[in-house]
Amino acid sequence: MITIEQADRLKQLPPYLFAELDRKKAEARSRGVDVIDLGVGDPDLPTPGNIIEELAKAAREPRYHRYPSYTGMNEFRRAVSRWYKKRTGVELQPIQEVVSLIGSKEGIAHIPLAFINPGDVVLVPSPAYPVYAIATMFAGGIPHEMPLVKENNFLPDLDAIPADILDKAKMMFLNYPNNPTAAPATQDFFRAVVGFAEKHNIMVCHDFAYSEMTFDGYVPPSFLETPGAMEVGIEFHSLSKTYNMTGWRIGWAAGNAKIIGGLGRIKSNIDSGIFEAIQVAGIEALEGDQQCLADMREIYTQRRDILVEGLKKLGINVEPPKATFYVWFEVPAGYTSASFAALLLEKSGIVATPGNGFGAPGEGYVRMALTVSKERLSEAVDRMAEIGF
């Protein structure tokens, strides 16, 4: 029998946050607990019927059964470009400035491989989606955390980044509307980011996955809307959250042609593209009836209000989010993120994500996802009330 030893890049990784949550959920269910899962951000709403019908029709077409283009169907990339023009006013060249992705996570995980050499620094927000730092480490880069704190509206303080770090930095990840904090970004902030990137020769990778999951009429700005943004960066997007298509694995990156080209070269050597029938369905998602967006926002608004109002009645300090389907709130006095999340699971069968699992600056917070029905959210509030914290 041979000795099987994992590579150093795997040894240095912490347990993947959501895999650990899955383990704890399974353990609770094995004890017979009726779990209310507010942990992972996976929509419980179905994919709209017109998108499913388009997939079913396209899947019967033999021409879509062959290898797809690794950069994506031209028709899909043109649809992405039209979406950007309509939604943000940004004009894109679909062939040079858009690449299709097998979900935005895939592109985020691969982009450092195209541009980061061992020892290069990548600026990553914290707390944040874990893949930004993990992808950096896989490429041999060094993640430098930019703390997101309440006092700065959960925006990174660019002026606080040390000069020696800036000398080595080649890339920055941003994500607004933000996961896990649900914070929005302002256009003034994005203008500052463009100036910062130009000054220090840093490419910007903005994760825009939650752009359409909004409340109260809020319309989040795209980073690419910012003057000069196309010169310094790209934007990742996905159909996962907007159209309840997390399992379909389809998204894109758009922006600076040289950065898009580098990502495309990585993809051409790693994957063989997205099943074209799914891309045809993606075109329908972007260009078909958009009533599903209004319906989605109404459903999540009702859920948000139930949870936020319930938490406030329990004495918890929480602000209603303007976007995303997450509620980020401070844990009650006397608890850490982990101890409060453990209390919720053990005493009330509620799965919530401890804020420190997204990074040390998330300590003192918990994230809940609005991915269960109104009735289950009301029940979750009632269960928390019984704990009496």
**Could you say which DSSP state residue 116 is in?**
P
List 68's β-bridge partners, or say none. none
Residue 123 CA to residue 180 CA, distance in Å, equals 17
Q: Give me the pLDDT at residue 13, please.
A: 82
Dihedral sign for Cα atoms in the order 235, 236, 241, 242:
positive
| Number of residues written out for the chain | 389
For residue 276, give the amino acid letter.
E
Beta bridge partners of 354: 366
What domains does the chain contain, in order, with CATH numbers? 8-46+291-387 (3.90.1150.10), 49-287 (3.40.640.10)
Q: What is the DSSP letter of 331?
A: P
Residue type present at position 315? G
Q: Are 194 and 228 in contact (CB under 8 A)?
A: yes
Residue 55 and residue 278 in contact, taking contact as beta carbons nearer than 8 Å? yes
Q: pLDDT at position 18, please? A: 67
- Report DSSP state, residue 235: E
Could you tell me which of 358, 376, 381 has the C-alpha nearest to residue 308? 381
Amino acid at 206: H
Say what angle helices 374-387 and 337-348 make with each other, to 10 degrees: 100
Which pLDDT does position 300 carry in this prediction? Answer: 98
Residues 6+ apart with CB under 8 A from 79: 282, 283, 286, 287
Return per-residue pLDDT of the chain as tens, 389 residues.
999 999 998 888 877 666 777 787 788 788 888 999 999 889 999 999 999 999 999 999 999 999 998 889 999 999 999 999 999 999 999 999 999 999 999 999 999 999 999 999 999 999 999 999 999 999 999 999 999 999 999 999 999 999 999 999 999 999 999 999 999 999 999 999 999 999 999 999 999 999 999 999 999 999 999 999 999 999 999 999 999 999 999 999 999 999 999 999 999 999 999 999 999 999 999 999 999 999 999 999 999 999 999 999 999 999 999 999 999 999 999 999 999 999 999 899 999 999 999 999 999 999 999 999 999 999 999 999 999 87
